Chains A and B, each alone.
Chain A
Amino acid sequence: AQSVTQPDIHITVSEGASLELRCNYSYGATPYLFWYVQSPGQGLQLLLKYFSGDTLVQGIKGFEAEFKRSQSSFNLRKPSVHWSDAAEYFCAVGRINEKLTFGTGTRLTIIP
């Protein structure tokens, strides 16, 4: 069965510092990979997705993620975080006509 692991429950980063959120997956084949962000009281918004091709994917709000097949990882990065990036981040995996499986999320706190 597919699974997604986000090992960091909570991360605190200073504004302007770089960010990396970890995501590891277990799947029978290379799945489609997604990162979503959820602000308090809001629904989830898609940041970026990987289906195939270039393993470095650019998303919205200055985020990027890198797919590493050998490590079964899809880590999210941002070179310089802003206070508005404080939110919950979810990694998800899926395939055609299969449901998305979400990780448990990483809560990001930004300190001035």
Chain B
Amino acid sequence: EAGVVQSPRYKIIEKKQPVAFWCNPISGHNTLYWYLQNLGQGPELLIRYENEEAVDDSQLPKDRFSAERLKGVDSTLKIQPAELGDSAVYLCASSLGALANNEQFFGPGTRLTVL
């Protein structure tokens, strides 16, 4: 069974440029998460989807970040414009449901460097 797929794995951009990350969750997983992981820190939730609905986006900086999951399967996270402080690893995870006893499966992440 394929795991959570993320692309690209690495991205280097200059500040003020836009960037997008893509995630394809495990087949059949209705819940999809985007996390931000700064260097030396644990992951922090940015947004959680139940199918195509964003049910928790309270930590998403909406002035520059946006996300979509149009058909309730794969998802895209966008930053426009990127700032130096956005350099981090962006992790995608999926689970069968949102209950805490449903294991979250993580992708390898996209490492973003903003110059």
Contact (Cβ within 8 A) B4 A99? no
| Nearest-CB residue, chain B, relative to A43 | B106
Contact (Cβ within 8 A) B98 A43? no
Contact (Cβ within 8 A) A44 B43? yes
CB of A74 closer than 8 Å to a CB of B: no
Contact (Cβ within 8 A) A98 B100? yes
Contact (Cβ within 8 A) B91 A44? yes
| Nearest-CB residue, chain A, relative to B59 | A99
Q: Number of residues in B with C-beta < 8 Å to the partner?
A: 23
For this complex, into which size category does the number of interface residues on chain A fall? 20 to 34
A49 to B100, CA, bound (A): 10
Q: How many A-B residue pairs have CB under 8 A?
A: 56
Q: How far is the CB of A104 from chain B (nearest CB, A)?
A: 6
Contact (Cβ within 8 A) A94 B42? no
Supposing A102-B43, A105-B41 touch, asked if A42 and B108 sit within 8 A by C-beta, the answer is: yes
CB of A110 closer than 8 Å to a CB of B: no
Query: Among the listed A42, A46, A96, A102, which residue makes an inter-chain contact with B42, where contact means beta carbons less than 8 Å apart?
Result: A102
Contact (Cβ within 8 A) A43 B91? yes
Within 8 A of B (CB), among A41-96: 41-46, 49, 51, 90, 92, 94-96
Pairs A-B, 7 closest by C-beta atoms: A102-B42, A43-B106, A44-B106, A94-B100, A32-B100, A99-B45, A43-B108
Given contacts A43-B3, A105-B41, 5 further A-B pairs with CB under 8 A are: A45-B106, A90-B43, A99-B48, A99-B56, A104-B42
